[in-house]
Amino acid sequence: MAEVITMPRLSDTMTEGKVAKWHKKVGDKVKEGDILAEIETDKAVQDFESEIEGTLLYVGVEEGSAAAVDSVLAIIGNEGEDISGLTGGAAAPAAATEEKKSEEQPKAETAAPAAAEVPAGVEIITMPRLSDTMTEGKVAKWHKNVGDTVKEGDLLAEIETDKAVQDFESEFNGVLLKQGVEEGGAAPVDSVLAIIGPAGTDVSAVGAPKAAGQSTEKPAEQKTEAKPEEKAAPAANSSSSDRVAISPLAKKMAQDKGVDISSVQGSGENGRIVKKDIENYQPAVKQAASAPAASAAPVAVSFVQGEDTETPNSQVRNIIAKRLSESKFTAPHYYLMVEINMDKAIEARKEINSLPDTKISFNDMIIKATAIALRKHPQVNSSWAGDKIIHRGNINIGVAVAIPDGLVVPVLKNTDQMTYTQISAAVKDMASRAKSKGLKANEMEGSTFSISNLGMFGIETFTSIINQPNSAILSVGAIIEKPIVKDGQIVVGNTMKLSLACDHRVVDGATGAQFLQTLRTYLESPLTLLL
C-alpha cells in the first residue's frame, strides 16, 4: 500500500522546507535508509532518508521549490499502484510528470527573457540566513578575491551574524567574478553576496552595481597580500561538521543535545553517524581549562586627552542592544534576592575535586542545582507566546559569556541530565570557542533559562535583563567570607547572593520565590541533589 511522505520538520523553527536536490526520481526503487532528497531548512541543508521501501510514485515538491511542513513531499508504494486518491485526483505518476513538463515548458520560455541578464554558467550567491533571528550579515573577512578560482567546498568568506562568526563555503566551481559586499560591510539576508562563473564573463549588469573601482582595484591589492593564507583556508575548513556523514535524525538529536558531531565516531555504513551514536555519546573532559566564562578582555579603546573617538558597532553589539531593549521594555521584570550559606557547598566541591581527573567550579555546581530545581518548578522553565504560555519539555540552560564584542549565551542542552564533569567540560569548551568566535549558531539557540555569573569580579549582587524568550535569569554574585549567626552564635561563614529576574507574565512572585527556596536547599545541602 502506498505511503505518503510529508515535508519533515527538521528544526524547531522550521515552517517550510525547500527541496535543494532530489536523489530519486519517479519510477526509481527506494530502500529504507536511501537518501530521497536534500531538504533546505531555515538553518541548513540536510539529507532526508526514506523510512520505507518501494517505488517512488509521486513527487509533491519540485526540485528548487518550497512547501510547508507536513505537506505532501512524496509518495512511495508498489510499482503501478493507483495513487490518484492520495494526490487529489492526479493522473498516473508518469503521465503527471509528462503533463507537468509540458505545462511548464511555456512558463520556462516566457521566463527566459527575465533571466537573460544572467549569463550562462553564472551562479548568484546570496547572503545566507545562518540563524533563525538573522536579518542581515556582515562580511568579517573575504577568503577569495575577484579573479580567484573557487571550488566546491572552498571557504569564500567569514560571515558575522547576530550571534557568531561562521565560515561560508562555496557550493559551486568557477571564478569569483564579483563581491556584492565589501569586507567589513553588511547586507540583508538574500541580497547578492557574490557571483561565480566562467572566467572573463561580464556580470556588471547582474545584481546591484558597485561603485567604480571597488571590484577591481581593491581586490587586486588584497590578492598580492593575502594569497598565501587563502591557499591554506580550504584545507583548514575541510573538517567542517557540515560535511560529516550523519543521518537527519541523528543531526537533529545532536543539535538538541548540543553535541559537536565532529567529535562523534559513527558506527553506520562508511562511518556514518546514526541515532545510537548520539544517544551513547559522552563528551570527553578537557584538561586545558579556559579562563572564567565572564573574563574575556574588553575591546581595546585608547584614551587620548581631549580627543573623542568612535568604535563602529559590530553585528553582535547591535543585536545585543536590540534584543535587550526589546526584553526590558516588553517583559515586565521583577527581582527576587536571596543569600545562600555556601559552607557545605565549599566542602562538597573540595571532596569532588579530590577525585582523579576531576575539577569543577562553583559555577558548575550552581548550573547543576538550577537545572534540577527547574524540574520541580516547570513554570519557571516556560516562555510567553502572546496568547499562550509554552512549557518547555527540555531544560536547556544558557550561560552568559563575555566576549570582546559584548555578550553571547551558549546553551547546555538537557542540562538536568548532565553530570558535574560534563557541565564543566562543556562550559569551558564553549566559553573558549565563544571568545575565538568559534561557536555555531545552533549552540546559542534553544535556551529555556539563563545564568549570569559576575562573582569572579568580586560583584556581590546585581540584576540581569531576561534573555528572551526565557522567562527568568539567575544572577550569581561572589562568595563572601563574613560574620553570620549560626545556632545563636556569631561565627565566620561563607555566603553568596543570588538574584532572580522574572517575567511577571509567566512567573508569579510566589512561583519565583518557591524556585529560589528549592535552589537554596540544593546549594546549602548538596547531598539533596542525589535524592
Q: Which contiguous run of DSSP H or E holds residue 333?
A: strand 333-341
371 CB neighbour count, 10 Å cutoff? 25
472-486 and 389-391 strand pairing: unpaired
| Whether the Cβ atoms of residue 492 and residue 482 lie closer than 8 Å to each other | yes
| Whether the Cβ atoms of residue 161 and residue 127 lie closer than 8 Å to each other | no
Options 23, 47, 416, 504, the catalytic residue: 504
Question: Residue 421: which of 275, 289, 263, 278 has the closest Cα?
Answer: 289
3-state SS of the chain: helix, strand, coil percent to 5? 30, 25, 45
Span between the terminal Cα atoms of the chain, in Å? 51
d(CA 102, CA 264): 48
Catalytic residue list contains 132: no
- Name the 3-class secondary structure at 109: helix
Cell 562555496, residue located: 170
288 CB neighbour count, 10 Å cutoff? 7
d(CA 55, CA 478): 65
- Name the 3-class secondary structure at 330: helix
Catalytic residue list contains 504: yes
Indicate the residue type of 240: S
* Cα separations in angstroms, 166 against 19, 54, 137: 24, 40, 10
d(CA 445, CA 469): 10
d(CA 357, CA 106): 70
For 99, how many CA atoms within 13 A lie in the half-sphere containing its CB? 7
Q: Which contiguous run of DSSP H or E holds residue 125?
A: strand 123-126
Question: Residue 336: which of 449, 499, 505, 522 has the closest Cα?
Answer: 499
96 CB neighbour count, 10 Å cutoff? 18
Nine-digit cell string for 521: 536547599
Indicate the residue type of 271: G
Cell 566551481, residue located: 173
* Cα separations in angstroms, 138 against 73, 172, 180, 216: 35, 21, 11, 21
| Whether the Cβ atoms of residue 299 and residue 311 lie closer than 8 Å to each other | yes
Q: Report, as residue numbers or ranges, the catalytic residues.
A: 504, 508
